[in-house]
Chains A and B, each alone.
Chain A
Amino acid sequence: MSLRIVVTVKYVPDATGDRHFADDLTVDRDDVDGLLSELDEYAVEQALQISENSDDDVEITVLTVGPEDAKDALRKALSMGADKAIHVEDDDLHGTDAIGTSLVLAKAIEKAGYDLVISGLASTDGTMGVVPALLAERLGVPQVTLLSEVSVEDGTVKGRRDGDAASEQLEASLPAVVSVTDQSGEARYPSFKGIMAAKKKPVESWDLSDLDLEAEEVGLEGAWTAVDSATERPARTAGTIVKDEGEGGKQLAEFLAGQKFI
């Protein structure tokens, strides 16, 4: 038996950098460093753990849809231990929204072949948290999402989803789409050996024609949503800051009372 895992990883602008929008109201990627979305490291980690705990042959493919530099995200995932990578890159993808992104990812996943798709809980830029559910819908397979614990055995994926009202145990048969949260377990750091090995691992590049997609189906032109404006939030007006010299709590109570909170 063999198990083919595709891990979807997104290349995002660094959240600690100065993120902003370009003139066409898409994310400006020129002025801020990009990286593998930290939340997708958890997805790569769980794929590696499933592989390590499995008696089957497991092949882990990491997949990204993104610009040229998105290769960095793939390299990082390969250096953590994934086996190979697919980069879907095409100028016409610029400005693709969630529905479009899920279309491209689903086509690529089908072309790559899969038994299990593992995604992060949300990207750190769009932070929608919808792509895994969209992939399940498109692929017509079960979604087993937002797991803080995941395991695969005998063609079944099981996991725990910690929701607001309850913690749920979930189960589905493969093929399936899973997403994992940052509670699923710390992601490993790439070792030196891993970084060296990653350089030799295959990275395939696909464009829209490889996926039988037309330019009009994706990008800003094909988008199902339109951004009309983006404005920087005005800096908060400087507040009052006091040093506690024994009365700090009382002073704060006075402020809260003045604001009618008490």
Chain B
Amino acid sequence: MAEVLVFVDHVDGAVRKPTLELLTLARRIGEPVAVALGAGAENTAAALAEHGAVKVLTHDASEYADYLVVPKVDALQAAVESVSPAAVLVPSSAEGKEIAARLALRIGSGIITDAVDIEAGDEGPVATQSVFAASFTTKSRVSKGTPVITVKPNSAAVEAAPAAGAVEALAVTFSAQATGTKVTGRTPRESTGRPELTEAAIVVSGGRGVNGAENFALIESLADSLGAAVGASRAAVDAGWYPHTNQVGQTGKSVSPQLYIANGISGAIQHRAGMQTSKTIVAVNKDAEAPIFDLVDYGVVGDLFDVVPQLTDEINTRKG
């Protein structure tokens, strides 16, 4: 069976969930071969093998941390040349998309970004995209070269499927461009202990209606009662009430959780672009005319300062 390269997103060897989802999708079109780069690359092997990787190609060098994007493109290109895969799958992060794009260009292939599903087709893998703020669903193919496809988080269920996961060292020669953009400083984000926004099964968001940074404590309490991630609208972020990294929408994160709870958010098209594919949508808004109510499975027209604390209490009580 044809091999399918899966680019591994990991932090010091801890594989992030979107990569495990990619392994599930990769198995539909071939045998997954994972490519893990940077510090801790070899430590990814066990998790990748458990989820179907027949092989894990690894390589570590200081270039991956010291320079932007290109060293990873060089490595992925080396992997493509050694494996001749039927397709290359990359998680749809900002960096993932840039790596995928440059790789596609180098190997003379087309690229599809932000797929939400992949299936095998007569003329190669068919990718489903959710476009125009999720108002249309398209099915596309790469028609030239080896398909390079980036896939959004939460696009497939993670399934265990034990495979050999044999670790092999990847030989990489860095290109002249690899050291072009130097990373001169790095400030890691502090962990909040809450789930990662794009990977969370439940997201609780606050908007302009939350009316102040201090009131986001209400949103956080509700999130914690559900084990959820916290999101925010751009209005709340621009007002400085919550960090930009938590923004949901066109210029923030796009999320696709099982449950999305929008509090004090009107539902502008750019916000919808980032959350419209959530499975179940709930909103609390005091304006019965707010466009967000067109999307909801359940909506409460009311003041969030009354509804949210009551909801949080009730959830905590029910959990006992």
Contact = CB atoms under 8 A, between A and B. Distances in A.
Interface string B143-155: 1110000000000
B233 interface: no
A23 interface: no
Contact of B143 (A163, A164, A224, A246): A224
Q: Which of A144, A163, A224, A228 has the most CB of B within 10 A?
A: A224
Nearest to B140: A227
A1 interface: no
A223 interface: yes
Contacts of B101: 98, 128, 130, 133-134, 137
Interface of A: 15-16, 19-21, 25, 39, 97-99, 102, 121-122, 124-125, 127-130, 132-134, 136-138, 140-146, 148, 158, 161-172, 176, 181-183, 223-233, 236, 239-244, 246-253, 255-257, 259, 261-262
Interface in B43-80: 68-70, 73
B97 A244 contact: no
B185 A169 contact: yes
Interface string B95-136: 101101110111001111110000000000010001111111
A163 B94 contact: yes
Contact of A242 (B70, B98, B126, B299): B299
B297 interface: yes
Q: Which of B11, B73, B142, B180 has the most CB of A within 10 A?
A: B180
B211 interface: no
Given A19-B135, A140-B177, A253-B311, A134 B102 contact: yes
A127 B114 contact: yes
Contact of B182 (A25, A172, A232): A172
A233 B184 contact: no
28 contacts: A15-B273, A127-B131, A127-B250, A130-B100, A130-B111, A132-B98, A133-B69, A136-B102, A142-B68, A143-B68, A143-B70, A163-B95, A165-B11, A168-B68, A170-B182, A181-B251, A226-B142, A228-B138, A230-B136, A230-B139, A236-B295, A236-B296, A241-B300, A244-B306, A248-B300, A250-B310, A252-B307, A256-B282
A130 B104 CA distance: 11
Question: Range of interface residues on chain B?
Answer: 35 or more
A128 B114 contact: yes
B136 A21 contact: yes
Interface stretch (B25-33, B166-174, B186-194): B186-194
B113 A224 contact: no
Contacts of A102: 105
Contacts of A246: 306
Contacts of A255: 282, 298
Given A19-B135, A39-B251, A137-B102, A146 B94 contact: yes
Contacts of B131: 127, 230
Contacts of A248: 284, 300-302, 306-307, 310-311
A129 B138 contact: no
B224 interface: no
Interface string B287-314: 0100001111111111100111111111
Q: Which of B94, B126, B130, B138 has the most CB of A within 10 A?
A: B94
B183 to A, nearest CB: 5
A232 B135 contact: yes
Contacts of B221: none
A234 B73 CA distance: 38
Given A97-B110, A146-B94, A261-B202, A228 B139 contact: yes
Contacts of B184: 158, 169-171
A184 B127 CA distance: 33
Interface string B242-277: 001100001100000011000000000110010000
Given A15-B269, A134-B101, A183-B244, A142 B186 contact: no
B300 A229 contact: no
B104 A243 contact: no
Interface in B175-216: 177, 180-189, 196, 202
A9 B151 CA distance: 26
A75 B296 CA distance: 40
Contacts of B106: 137
Contacts of B177: 136-137, 140, 142
Nearest to B280: A259
B312 to A, nearest CB: 8
Q: Which of A121, A137, A172, A247 has the most CB of B within 10 A?
A: A137
Contacts of A161: 68
Contact of B189 (A141, A142, A165, A243): A165
A233 B137 contact: yes
Nearest to A245: B302
A228 B69 contact: no
Contacts of B95: 163
